[in-house]
């Protein structure tokens, strides 16, 4: 059985699981105060070249976005995101459940444009009725975006400059960060994120762990961040579960290896799709490939291999996501090739 | 190194971890729609003798309490709990963060009294100003309680009868349910809970898993419960993580075996404490033992072995919690015996 | 001193104030259970030709929108509004503070388009990931819109049909409803709203009262709506304050007279603006007129008469709102004419 | 027709209403930026001998409590109140709706005890599990209390000292402050409150206005307090409504006159009750008198005159509240005397 439905279809990368086995019987304090979490934090700080960073582990992406936003937004502020941003579309209203309004901007292949961001912030802040409006407080980026695309260093610096100009904080959702960091031609790395962002998270769930995301606050965490975690139901008694896994991910470059493998597999996948005449909806350099199929072919395909439904661009077609991950073997690709040939 | 600080100091029970290893590379859908979660649900329904039960897996206790309460409380209602209830004292305001007021009643060794519950509900509902008050909507019990004590079948039936009389739902927090079910002399079992409760959870984190609690809705879940899970940041992409673990817990009676081992170890621990002249604060039949130490002895003890701070009953003394679990070996007990002898 | 800044610059219509004087010393129960509120409700039900309507009085528009939405949205739903909708732009995040996400659609002169609404609802509900999304639960209209424009009967019926098709409730914000009902050529009246809407409010604050909006639930109010009012801080001890005022508004057609006066005055205002070569930003039939001024002229004007800032359509111009109300006398118009002549 | 049901059964004190009439046609800016609100603020600052105070007007008590608490509590904090505190019992969960947990302490004739407050704060802050708990952030007092009793200057200073010691803010609910300030023998005045409190409100609704409470922040308001007001639906378009009324209340000592009249009338009421052998439940010096009636006599009484239900101290008796206000004339008292004589 194979799948391209998403990048969380299997368990943990074997090296991560092995580390859970090795450490299983070592007693440790709860709630993230364990030695494994500390070790993982040290390795993450080193990888970010940011000795001052405070790092906390949470279990999943939606939770992480909601808790971080609740902690860095002030009560009169909202968060700016692309209209395709995960927090705006696919989190069932989790930010709003904590009282955070999402201010949506147009997307450009999933990305915010620094100029449009500047215009929105400037317009809001010079509006004579701003006391009746939601202030622009935080800018949310995802990298890779929901379309698998990437910001360039220059784009991030431009957005960061707008944030500084208007007193906004910059938050980056790195659910699939491993694939972004290892994409061909990217000039974005962890130290850059630590330099530009007020908060970002290094995704685990979609990059090799059973669960867990590592939130990095380069300049220190908000006051009483542990209480935010607890109050929003995100505190794990066995905080070691995330700590051990991130310790494994950041040992011997495993996180980057996972990223590289996912990206390379996606490149080969793209070749297979092309060979079968299936057009890509967008050209993306990371582990998600979006293809356009007519509806009949989509129905036939999904009977034989799980893929991700994305959207209906028109009545006749379906955009389908193929995702790769550390468990996407050559056999997966060969089987897909045969399925597509027989479709 | 040994610890009695809590029942979540190590990883997972070896049989649970083994099952994660075995299933690691089997691709499955996300979000709890995997075959392992389905299998675990079937086994739980059988253990509860409740074929109609709907079961969902969440990651931790505070989260579970908050999400379930949000889903079963109506907007004009609050939840009644003992003044020592976990939701009232140790969840950093998580229920209130979702708008749920906790209506506290006196505790009797950690338990609610059905008569006092009846008086509260009756008084509120006949109050001529009730439209300005919070209605009694849900009754929260923990079993074992925060003091490690247990309700009897008769006590639960009396509370359930009050709930039915006043249209309240009954919710039971089973964070340490394994130990409650296997305590000497208890007449409470899973089928009884399924018969009396509108919702309860079978605790995993403190009973052998890395994380995870199984919420059981014997009469069916609230509408759109998946959306509640997602909206409150509690949806796991790899829902299989909980599913696999609960499938292991409910295979060959492992859950009950873990409970039995914890209870028996606690009984031996109680003997050791008594031998060293350390009085118990309360006589409890489960895996938590609460002892009274003068402050100096507490300080000396905690230098040598992690134990749980509980409270200061007066200026001179400290109540300390000793918890046992599946990883509490004979060697743990012998080492503690020596430490206490040398104190 | 004159003003065109808004329609709430003076106190109450003299007939409303007179009624407050007359009833001032008659003791009545609190919280809306007074005889004046009952009388007002009867008159409103008659005006709506809707004997089954339940009616509650709240103090202001933002509060009304928030409390009503909280009561008619289910926890997994959001509210659809035009991107210019008051709840989306000018309520400082009040809906989100109660956990309600606003799903914005394009505006057409401030109005929603039934076709676009249908597409959004259909797309959301057939999305295979809808459990991760916010369901379309309520449609929010304002009538007159924030641009002073009006829906036609046919447009409202088309929107209502979409709501029924997809199980959405229809809610109409009538902050300035008096002006809408009395505009030239409109075919929308109160009985139509009572027939099509699940909830709407008849605005008082901007139509002659000191404060107060009348929420009409044609098919009955949500369960425990009084608790929603109280819980969200919207319950007035002296509920009579709103009751007396609405009783006056709906005695001898005063509400309609106020609407007619505002609309006619606005028509004359439009003539004056045209005479001075000031273009309208949009052609609107109600009591708000939006004019385009270059920035210098705007600065000069606002030194002499209060007008409402609306937006900067470009760097050089400002859109200004001129609002009329029951207190906009001939003298106001003549003074404005002179000011514009001298500008 | 007479009533003793509450102190908000009639409209506004005639002098307040007269001021609304006088100012009705003077155009003013909205949202509290009008000259009348400014004038009222000046007079309130003078009455409080606190030139630095920031003052905002809100419409009612529950709303005021909720908005102020939301603005002065940090997300990890709760508010301490007596178990009889209005925010804990009679606001339908409004604080919790904004995420604020109420930490209840025993009441002593409706009052908090400084020693118990100190113990609670000290115990919480030295608890080793405090990161899982709600921090003590604000202390809520009502003065007069819900039982009509009063703090002494010494008691308030002791409570204030505890607040300073533990970094808590002090907030005082003055819904009936006029009666407290004018009670016989009180040594509490407005300048004392301005010196000791971080925030308090001077009640209008129960002291002579149609609606409105004046929130005083002696050391300045929280950042962006206007946004808190708007976000929680408490912003009035015609802010002048409260401004004009408070301007009248603080002209020529009207507020104090209203308080004096209410207190004196209550003293005469107490004499009448005593003459008819009706015992008081508590000896209170302000405008609320609580009497104990057997249930039959309560039923007979309420058929003839509206009084306030308070509680059932046992199955046979009812505690009834008699409230006086500016509209409680001699004729009211004489009629009550006759009714009681005939009971």
Cβ separation D1–C26 shorter than 8 A: yes
Q: Mutate which of B67, B131, B135 to test chain C, going by most C C-beta atoms within 10 A?
A: B131
Is residue C260 exposed (0-12), middle (13-18) or buried (19+ Cβ within 10 Å)? Answer: middle
Go through D143-154 and write b for each residue having 16 or more CB atoms within 10 A of its CB, e for each that does not.
Answer: bbbbbbbbbeee
Model confidence at D4: pLDDT above 90: yes
What does the pLDDT average to over C196-217?
Answer: 98
Q: pLDDT band at D127, cuts 50/70/90?
A: confident
| Of D130 and D212, the one with more pLDDT | D212
- Mind spelling out the 3-state secondary structure of B307-331? CEEEECCCCCEEEEEEECCCCCCHH
What integer best gives the mean pLDDT of chain B? 97
Candidate from A121-130, C108-117, C251-260 with smallest mean pLDDT: A121-130
Q: pLDDT band at C100, cuts 50/70/90?
A: very high
Q: Mutate which of B132, B167, B227, B235 to test chain C, going by most C C-beta atoms within 10 A?
A: B227
pLDDT of residue D222: 98
Cβ separation A99–C99 shorter than 8 A: yes
Q: Mutate which of D74, D89, D93, D128 to test chain B, going by most B C-beta atoms within 10 A?
A: D93
Q: What proportion of chain B, given as a percentage, has pLDDT over 90?
A: 96
Per-residue pLDDT tens for A25-60?
A: 999 999 999 999 999 999 999 999 999 999 999 999
Q: What is the DSSP string of C321-339?
A: EEE--TT--HHHHHHHHHH
Chain A residues near any Cβ of chain C (below 8 Å): 76, 78, 89-93, 96-97, 99-102, 104, 123, 126-129, 131-134, 309, 311-312
User: Among the residues of chain C, which ranges form H helices?
Assistant: 14-23, 35-47, 61-72, 86-89, 94-97, 114-126, 153-166, 177-181, 190-196, 225-231, 240-249, 254-275, 295-304, 330-342
Cβ separation D96–B101 shorter than 8 A: yes
pLDDT of residue C305: 96
| CB nearest C132 (choices: B71, B131, B230) | B230
Give the tokens for residue B238.
């790899």
Q: pLDDT band at D260, cuts 50/70/90?
A: very high
Model confidence at C128: pLDDT above 90: no
Cβ separation B309–D129 shorter than 8 A: yes
What integer best gives the mean pLDDT of chain C? 97
Give the tokens for residue B121.
């509900």
Q: Which helix (H) or strand (E) holds D47?
A: helix D35-47
Model confidence at A128: pLDDT above 90: no
What integer best gives the mean pLDDT of chain D? 97
Of residues D298, D214, D217, the one with CA closest to residue D249? D214
pLDDT of residue C25: 97
Question: Which residues of chain A does C100 touch, with a Cβ-Cβ cutoff of 8 Å?
Answer: 96
pLDDT of residue C177: 98
The Cα-based distances of A156 to A113, A202, D295 in angstroms read: 10, 17, 73
Model confidence at B343: pLDDT above 90: no
Q: pLDDT band at D118, cuts 50/70/90?
A: very high
What does the pLDDT average to over C36-50?
Answer: 98
Cβ separation D59–C61 shorter than 8 A: no
Q: Mutate which of D76, D78, D235 to test chain A, going by most A C-beta atoms within 10 A?
A: D76
Per-residue pLDDT tens for D139-174?
A: 999 999 999 999 999 999 999 999 999 999 999 999
B162: left (phi over 0), alpha (psi -120 to 50) or beta: alpha
pLDDT of residue D343: 86
pLDDT of residue A343: 86
Model confidence at C30: pLDDT above 90: yes
Q: How many Cα atoms sit within 13 Å of B112 on the Cβ side?
A: 32
pLDDT of residue C272: 97
Domains of chain D in sequence order? 14-249 (3.40.640.10), 254-342 (3.90.1150.10)
pLDDT of residue C303: 95
Model confidence at A168: pLDDT above 90: yes
Give the tokens for residue B200.
């309860």
| Strand A213-217 versus strand A54-58 pairing type | antiparallel
Of all residues in chain B, the one with the smallest CA distance to D318 is B127
Question: Which residues of chain A does B331 touch, with a Cβ-Cβ cutoff of 8 Å?
Answer: none
Model confidence at B77: pLDDT above 90: yes
Q: pLDDT band at B11, cuts 50/70/90?
A: very high
pLDDT of residue C190: 98
Q: pLDDT band at B47, cuts 50/70/90?
A: very high
| CB nearest B231 (choices: A6, A29, A97) | A97
What does the pLDDT average to over D94-121?
Answer: 97
Residue A252 near residue A18, CB atoms below 8 Å? no
Question: Which residues of chain C does D241 touch, with a Cβ-Cβ cutoff of 8 Å?
Answer: 11, 210-211
Residue D72 near residue D97, CB atoms below 8 Å? no
Of all residues in chain D, the one with the smallest CA distance to C94 is D231
Q: pLDDT band at C66, cuts 50/70/90?
A: very high
State the nearest Cα–Cα gap between B165 and chain D, in angstroms. Answer: 19
pLDDT of residue B48: 98
CA atoms of A121 and A169, how far apart (whole Å): 12
Q: Which chains reach chain C with 3 or more Cβ–Cβ distances below 8 angstroms?
A: A, B, D
CA atoms of B58 and B39, how far apart (whole Å): 16
Model confidence at A68: pLDDT above 90: yes
**What residues have CB less than 8 Å from C337, skipping those under 6 apart?**
C272, C275, C276
Model confidence at B25: pLDDT above 90: yes
pLDDT of residue D298: 95
| Torsion angle, alpha carbons of B204, B206, B212, B216, to 10 | 50
- ipTM for the predicted complex comes to 0.97
| CB nearest D59 (choices: C5, C21, C59) | C59
Q: Which chains reach chain D with 3 or more Cβ–Cβ distances below 8 angstroms?
A: A, B, C
Per-residue pLDDT tens for B318-336?
A: 999 999 999 999 999 999 9
Q: pLDDT band at A127, cuts 50/70/90?
A: confident
């Amino acid at each position: 059985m194979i799948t391209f439905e998403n990048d969380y279809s299997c368990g943990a990368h074997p090296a991560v699981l092995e580390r859970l086995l090795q450490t299983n019987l070592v007693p440790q304090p709860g709630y993230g105060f364990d030695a494994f979490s500390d070790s993982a934090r040290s390795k993450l700080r080193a990888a970010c070249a940011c000795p001052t960073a405070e790092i906390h582990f949470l279990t999943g992406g939606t939770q992480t976005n909601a808790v971080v936003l609740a902690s860095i937004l002030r009560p009169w502020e909202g968060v700016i995101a692309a209209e395709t941003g995960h927090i705006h579309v696919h989190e069932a209203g989790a930010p709003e459940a904590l009282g955070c309004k999402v201010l949506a901007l147009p997307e450009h292949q999933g990305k915010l444009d620094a100029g449009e961001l500047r215009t929105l912030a400037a317009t809001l802040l010079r509006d004579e009725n701003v006391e009746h409006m939601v202030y622009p407080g935080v800018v949310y980026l995802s990298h890779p975006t929901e379309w698998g695309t990437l910001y360039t260093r220059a784009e991030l610096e431009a957005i960061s400059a707008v944030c500084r100009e208007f007193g906004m904080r910059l938050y980056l959702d790195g659910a699939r960060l491993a694939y972004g960091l290892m994409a061909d031609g990217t000039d974005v790395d962890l130290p850059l994120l630590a330099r530009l962002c007020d908060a970002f998270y290094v995704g685990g769930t979609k990059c090799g762990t059973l669960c867990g995301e590592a939130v990095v606050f380069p300049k220190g965490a908000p006051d009483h961040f542990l209480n935010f975690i607890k109050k929003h139901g995100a505190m794990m008694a066995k905080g070691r579960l995330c700590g051990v896994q991130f310790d494994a991910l950041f040992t011997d470059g495993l996180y980057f290896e996972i990223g590289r493998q996912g990206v390379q597999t996606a490149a080969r996948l793209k070749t297979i799709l092309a060979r079968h005449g299936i057009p890509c909806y967008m050209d993306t350099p990371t582990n998600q490939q979006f293809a356009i199929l007519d509806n009949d072919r989509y129905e036939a395909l999904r009977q034989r291999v799980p893929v991700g439904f994305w959207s209906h661009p028109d009545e006749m077609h379906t955009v389908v996501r193929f995702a790769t991950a550390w468990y996407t073997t050559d056999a997966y690709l060969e089987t897909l090739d045969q399925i597509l040939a027989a479709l």
